[in-house]
Amino acid sequence: MNLKKLNKTQRAAVQAIDGPILIFAGAGSGKTRVLTHKMYHLIKEEDYKPENILAVTFTNKAAREMKERVMGLLNENELPITIGTFHSVCARILRSESKHLGLTPQFAIYDVQDQLDLLKIILRDLDVKKDQINPNQARNQISYLKNKMITPKSQKRKARTIIEKKVAEIYEVYQKSLKQNEALDFDDLLLYPIEIFNNFPKVLLKYQRKWKYILVDEYQDTNRPQFFFLTKLSEKHQNICVVGDDDQSIYGWRGADIANILDFEKFFPSCRIFTLEKNYRSTQQILDAATSVVTHNDRRAQKVLEAENGSGELLGLIETRDELEESDAIISALEKEIKIQKRTFSDFAVLYRTNAQSRVLEDSFRRLGIPYNLIGSIRFYERKEVKDILAYLKLVINLKDTVSLRRVVNFPARGIGMKTMDKCVIRAKEERIELFDVLKNADKLSIRGKQSDALKRFYKLIKKYHSLRNKLSASELSRSLVEEAGVLSQFKMSTEVEDKERYENAIELLNSIDDFSSRKPNAQLSDFLEEVSLLTDIDHWNDSDNRVTLMTVHSSKGLEFPIVFISGLDEGLFPLYNSLENKEDLEEERRLFYVALTRAQERVFLLYATNRRRMGGENMLGMPSRFISEIPKKYLDRIEFQSALTRRVIRGSMRRSTKVKVTRTVTTFDDFKVGDMVEHSIFGIGKIMVLSGTGENQRVGVIFKDGTKKKLIVKYANLTKIN
């Protein structure tokens, strides 16, 4: 293999094989290239079989890209190398070894909503009031304890306060309920392989022999269970290579432990360390600004990033009066970049600290017809109608899944309410049988005949498809089941606009199952359900769409864009108020800002507001984030944005200013007609094809020269009529 395309340090890291290896990979330093070339090197030069290599990362998108790159290097269409997320790898192990846990291989994987549905039932049964502990608080507490590898028994012993004792009780009942439902949550996927490895040494040895070389991406984001999982797997051969950047450790709130990477040498004393400092993404101005901020953190590995892309432009700093003016300033800068630099919408990303900040941006973008992708909105697979159909499929696979059973037993409506289900639960406990089996003899319950018949019909339907689960393809089974259950007809017959959308979403789900069956002809429905359950927001993101990307900084990890806007840089918002009194939390917020800055390839705009509406609708006076003051002034170009009509631009030193007048077209409503040629500040020249409404409600449909079709509100579109 020709390694000349790699720099000296990258090449050394790729060729270092025997024993533990730690690679500190600064932002944009080519860590994926190093990892993929290392896998190539292991197979081609070191005689490792592909099936003896395990590579783990944190998103399906990253895993998929990594596998494609390795196959490209090897010129192979298929490769038996295991490349996946921690959760998918662990799920695969558990499907094979489930008998050691007293589970069947068809166990369900509960997502957040499934967990909350189960906890609602548990809290009700334990008579826990919502103002004491709500389902979301209970879920977070349980997840925290699992990340610390604290069992229900341990928590019971150490609990002191009334709340702690109640959480321990809920945790215990929750785990028992999961087992009864033949279900695992995401945390269990990581914990149970460790339990199996500890209790069954032969199973551990089997996987140690299988995976003789282990590579780990984004190692700074690993938590305690992931650390123990990797340590167990690698202790026989000691061939483990971890890649990460401590400056990008931003998931402490969900259990990630930065000590895993900073103390790697303590855990593996014989390790060799490489530091990748050559940056291939950003300009030097961006890197220096980012480094100047993150060096305020005490605990970090020293690294000095050197840009391959030259010095670049200063970082734009914009003060606005409120969040509305902030969105206007973003659009104004975006317009300028499109006009002058000939940018496309996909060149831009707007990053923010919290999801709530997207609303004002969305409103502004919609009014002006600017296309955007919102990452972090309700995901397709989390929409109610989609979750309902998935619950049917989960129940067909696993008859013990009471959460799915409760969700769909009255969908479509069968006249089966909560009281009826409570009677079923009582009967199941009395007779010590599964809840689903109670439905078979529903006529023995003290309920009306119609309800009894409905329950028995539902039982027969699910039982029928349960018996067909291994005889039909995932596609055939799901389409037939959904049709027979009456899900599609319910939406199709409805006159409600929402139901039309629900029908389309249901069809889209069935199409996705068709695609899955085409991709994996030998796979079963349970495989599809597992794939869906492990998807993340980023897995749905399509960077080929010509749209502005809106997302939280957390969601942007691992991505890059030519131009990045970081909005909401107010003290108390970024960093968040609750992080200001805790040194570790504040350092994580600083690393988060570092991540935001280093997503940019060419240009960064920093925005803050002196007045911002916060929770409860209250306006609060704002101060610029401390992170702005931690950037030396020599890296900043202050842009003063005053209104939607005029603005002043200050160039060079923050003390000097020059005023630039900007004129905007003031539209006279009802002045347009079909056939008029118009000019838009972003889309250029186009022709009005459709016209509706009058006055401030006037809307136009325009086809622009490049073929783009847009429906615009005249009030906001700033259209100029061309005579």
C-alpha dihedral (50, 74, 276, 23), degrees to nearest 10? 0
Residue 95 CA to residue 101 CA, distance in Å, equals 11
Place of tokens 């070191």: 46
Element (H, E) at 244: strand 240-244
Which of the following is catalytic: 117, 185, 217, 247? 217
Q: Cα(631)–Cα(590) distance, rounded to whole angstroms?
A: 12
Indicate which residue of 31, 69, 414, 502 is catalytic. Answer: 31
Six-digit token string for 320: 């606005």
Residue 673: φ, ψ to 5°: -145, 160
Cβ–Cβ under 8 Å, residues 315 and 285:
yes
Q: Cβ neighbours of residue 287 under 8 Å, at least 6 residues apart?
A: 27, 279, 305, 306, 307, 598
Is residue 265 annotated as a catalytic residue, yes or no?
Answer: no
Cα distance between residue 470 and residue 525, in whole Å: 8
Q: Could you tell me the two tokens for 595?
A: 């991540």
Q: Is 218 a catalytic residue?
A: yes
DSSP 8-73: HHHHHHHH--SS-EEEEE-TTS-HHHHHHHHHHHHHHTS---GGGEEEEES-HHHHHHHHHHHHHH
How far apart CA 498 and CA 43 sit, in angstroms, is 53
Q: Which stretches of 252-394 are assigned E, i.e. beta strand?
A: 272-276, 278-279, 306-307, 315-320, 348-352, 372-374
Amino acid at 48: Y
How far apart (Å, rounded) are the C-alpha atoms in residues 26 and 191? 30
Does residue 692 contact residue 685 with C-beta atoms inside 8 Å? no
- Helices H / strands E in the chain, number of each: 29, 25
Q: Strand 647-649 to strand 677-680: parallel, antiparallel, or no bridges (unpaired)?
A: unpaired
* Other Cβ atoms within 10 Å of 167 Cβ, number: 23
Q: How many CA atoms lie within 13 A of 145 on its CB side?
A: 24
Residue 548 belongs to what H/E stretch?
A: strand 548-552
Two structure tokens written together for 207 = 């996987």
Cα(525)–Cα(573) distance, integer angstroms: 44
Look at strands 348-352 and 21-25 and give their pairing: unpaired
Contact indicator for 210, 52 with CB cutoff of 8 Å:
yes
Residues forming beta bridges with residue 684, ordered by sequence position = 680
- CA 606 to centroid of chain Cα atoms: 24
Active site residue 208: no
Q: Are 569 and 607 in contact (CB under 8 A)?
A: yes
Do you find a cis peptide bond into 412, omega within 30 degrees of 0?
yes
| Residue 470 DSSP one-character state | T
Contacts of residue 650, defined as CB under 8 A and 6 or more positions apart, other chains included, come to: 637, 638, 639, 640, 656, 657, 658
Q: In one letter, which amino acid is 546?
A: N
Task: Please choose, from the candidates 377, 339, 297, 599, the residue with its C-alpha nearest in 3D space to the C-alpha of residue 331.
Answer: 339
- Whether the Cβ atoms of residue 506 and residue 498 lie closer than 8 Å to each other: no
Name the residue type at position 227: F
248 is catalytic: yes
**Residues near 655 by beta carbon (within 8 Å), at least 6 away in sequence:** none
Three-class HEC string of 653-705 = CCCCCECCCCCCCCCCCCCCCCCCEEEECCCEEEEEEEEECCHHHCEEEEEEC
Which helix (DSSP H) or strand (DSSP E) does residue 553 occupy?
helix 553-556
Q: Which of 187, 218, 347, 401 is catalytic?
A: 218
- Residues acting as catalytic residues: 31-32, 217-218, 248, 599
